[in-house]
Amino acid sequence: MDIKQLHYFVTVADQLSYSKAAQRLHISQPSLSNAIKNLELEVGSPLLERNTRRVELTDAGKILYTKATLLLSQMNMLKKEMEEVKLTGSGELIIGIIESVKHWIPKVIRTYQDRFPDIHFKLLEVLGGKAVKESLRKYHTHLLITNQCIEEEDIESLPLYDEKLVLVLHRDHPLAQKESIHIKDLEQESFIISTEGFQTRADILRAFSLEQATPTIKFEIERFETALTLVRENLGITIIPENYVSEPMDASIVRKTIHSPALERTIYVAYMKNRYLAPAVQSFLEETRRNFA
């Protein structure tokens, strides 16, 4: 007893005529006769009382009819819903982000929503090395905005834009007055840096080592906001992406540019390479890249 048979039966019951039903179903009348006969065999009781002139539903037929129409409509619903899914994925777009995207992500989302108004967004903060790859592979996220440079077989990682790293220190700090600052100047200072595993930590350490210097690491933090809090209390200095201090900065802290080619990080958008991307996901990817083209 499959959907097709039920569909055939319901159509005959609606038309109360095999030939009309066959026309509507775009099959021949004998095929339809056969199909109904088989259905009756399977059900075990006649469904239609028929002579050459009149077709009527039997008791069993009436019952099957009501049940079958219900089932068929639900089947149609299912098909329609899967059609939707094909376009929009699950209706949910899960994006793994880092903090510094705050200044541009709302804009991208806004233009995107004109095209896919029904999509529901989920923005997850994904920090640290392994978490990034896992979140993609385990279907936690569809897309990932990250500063991790991922080089894996199955993950595509496209650069979006570069972000400068800037020195941040307290207004009252001695270096705050100095015109131009170099890495070497920072060696003796209490330094605040990300914990092991973060790309930014690696970038900063590389910048130091390029100048044959080593920072005096006093604090290890996970979020740059934490670093800023420490700087506000003048407990140390730090180097963080410029986007964290581009906005209305409070007066107690000062930002300084340091000239070093290494003090720059690249922001990537990453996704599973060989996995099907729903058009909704694809579109968001394109929208994002266009934003930085």
Partner DNA sequence: CACTATTTATAGCATCAAGCTATTAATTTA
Partner DNA sequence: TAAATTAATAGCTTGATGCTATAAATAGTG
Which residues contact DNA by CB under 7 A?
A: 2, 4-5, 17-20, 26-31, 33-38, 50-53, 55
Which CB, 50 or 140, lies closer to DNA?
50
Told to check if 267 binds its own copies by CB under 8 A, we report no
List Cβ neighbours of 39 (8 Å cut-off, separation of 6 or more).
1, 5, 6, 8, 9, 47
In the DSSP assignment, the letter for residue 262 is T
C-alpha torsion angle, residues 39, 42, 43, 48 (rounded to 10): 30
- Name which of DNA, its own copies, none residue 82 binds, using a CB cut-off of 5 to 8 Å depending on partner kind: its own copies
- Positions 26 through 45 that interact with its own copies (CB under 8 A): 43-45
Q: How far is the CB of 19 from DNA (least distance, A)?
A: 3
Which CB, 29 or 282, lies closer to DNA?
29
Which CB, 26 or 138, lies closer to DNA?
26
E runs forming strands in the chain: 48-50, 55-57, 92-97, 120-125, 143-146, 155-170, 190-194, 216-221, 237-241, 253-256, 264-272
Residue pair 142/281 in contact by the 8 Å Cβ criterion: yes
Instruction: Provide the 3-class DSSP secondary structure of residue 258.
Output: strand
Q: How many CA atoms lie within 13 A of 206 on its CB side?
A: 13
Binding mask 225-264 toward its own copies (x if CB under 8 A, else -) reads ----------------------------------------
- Name which of DNA, its own copies, none residue 85 binds, using a CB cut-off of 5 to 8 Å depending on partner kind: its own copies
**Residue labelled with tokens 């581009």:** 246
Q: Which of 19, 38, 56, 161 binds its own copies (CB under 8 A)?
A: 56
**Cα distance between residue 201 and residue 222, in whole Å:** 10
In the DSSP assignment, the letter for residue 2 is -
Told to check if 282 binds its own copies by CB under 8 A, we report no
- Name which of its own copies, DNA, none residue 263 binds, using a CB cut-off of 5 to 8 Å depending on partner kind: none
- Positions 81 through 120 that interact with its own copies (CB under 8 A): 81-83, 85-86, 89-90, 92
* CB-count burial class (<10 Å; 0-12, 13-18, 19+) for 267: buried
Q: 51: part of which helix (H) or strand (E)?
A: none
Which CB, 81 or 172, lies closer to its own copies?
81
Told to check if 140 binds its own copies by CB under 8 A, we report no
List residues binding its own copies (CB under 8 A). Answer: 1-4, 43-46, 49, 56-60, 62-64, 67-68, 70-71, 74-75, 77-79, 81-83, 85-86, 89-90, 92, 138-139, 275-276, 278
